[in-house]
Chains A and B, each alone.
Chain A
């Protein structure tokens, strides 16, 4: 019972925190320099792992799809299927998991340390707003970086797919790439982008919230980091289901409207 109460209390508090961030974003935007610094830091931090993961996801998708489509003689469509699957589902999910492990934990630990060493109180005493000064740049930075990383992850997944497609199924790279636009329609692209944005907002909110409200010294920072990792992973999976469900309804509505 206590755990359920705690869950809803935490959930409600994080929504109120998100409201404060958005309000600050509209009425008291932070300096662009701070946002660019965060975008650079987050992108550089996660670039190698995202690129590598993207490469292998493309490769895995190609191998898995190759087994299925070869039975129907549809191997030329392998590139389109694998890329569509990656952009719709695996890509955004993968980027979100990567970011939650690296950037989420890092941000939570950094903000938690700032809280327990009274740096956040000092910011307030020195006439600044901590949400505007330290939270908002990180929040925007994580969201914008997610799109950069998604793009890089997708490019690498195509590269991985092309290489594995060539060696595993003997598909000509040109053939692999040629059918990507045939299968990859705008609903897939839109779905991927919406998922990427949703996961990034979920991650940025949770890690900044957990870090900002850290209590209890070094142990508290440790607790915040663990809690950030667990909560973001679970929330991203739930958000994935939510966006798939809502996305499907919207796409069906659009189809009914246009057809």
Chain B
């Protein structure tokens, strides 16, 4: 469904992606973990043509897209929906108009079809009765959900998530993670999630890929990653264990 072959991306003298080779199968949920600045988000932006790779190939649904023009990328962006780190909602538009925006630009739909797809998308992310509100009038967590609904409304085959839970409280983080899992299973989409959240990756990913310094240093199922000998993976696991221990201590009341 989605494949990167020897993908290289440079910013000036700095090489951010150093020959990435990765294949993601249809319907798979793949988490990309890694420290900040290792090129995880750059990989997603290359996938939808927001950035151009310096070398290598990107295959989406049997098409090599790395050399595509901005116009040619329009059809790829229908297939690959991206949920950004920020909600990236348009302040001047209502929630309804925000979700309808992509539908109006990508497809020729009647107003009733747009309305039904907007409402369906909002229902999928468990949001009701905010159609006429503006982004500034709803919470950050809700904005993230609306952002997800805006992408899901396009019914893409591939969903790309760029740190979907950054800046959210634990409750909303869990809700968003559950949504990612449910949406991927319900809509049968392929999901590529960039995250720092190891516990979440272990619980919902089919496969976890670990990035370091623009390279893949390890990958495998959550079970395989638990036995990894790679230092960075062990650090991530240790931190995840610490977080889980802390949470259970809080629940037991032994830690403030």
Contacts and interface: CB of A to CB of B under 8 A. Distances in A.
A121 B84 contact: yes
A119 B154 CA distance: 17
Interface in B64-91: 70, 74, 77-78, 81-82, 84-90
B50 A126 contact: no
B150 to A, nearest CB: 7
B167 to A, nearest CB: 12
Given A119-B90, A121-B45, A128 B84 contact: no
B130 to A, nearest CB: 19
Interface string A36-80: 000000000000000000000000000000000000000000000
Nearest to A37: B92
Contacts of B154: 126
B88 A119 contact: yes
- Most chain-A Cβ atoms within 10 A of its Cβ — which of B45, B82, B89, B151? B82
B102 A127 contact: yes
A19 interface: no
Interface string B148-171: 001100100000000000000000
B128 interface: no
A182 to B, nearest CB: 49
- Most chain-A Cβ atoms within 10 A of its Cβ — which of B49, B50, B87, B88? B88
Nearest to B80: A125
A122 B105 contact: no
B105 A128 contact: yes
A127 B77 contact: yes
Nearest to A110: B91
Contacts of B74: 127
Nearest to B156: A125
A128 B90 CA distance: 13
Interface in B31-72: 45, 48-50, 70
A129 B45 CA distance: 16
Interface in B121-159: 150-151, 154
A125 B77 contact: yes
Contacts of B105: 126-128
B106 interface: yes
A2 to B, nearest CB: 14
Contacts of B90: 119, 122-123
A123 B98 CA distance: 10
11 contacts: A117-B87, A118-B84, A119-B89, A119-B90, A121-B82, A121-B84, A124-B49, A125-B102, A126-B150, A127-B102, A129-B70
The 7 closest A-B pairs by CB, nearest first: A126-B102, A127-B105, A122-B88, A127-B106, A118-B84, A118-B88, A117-B86
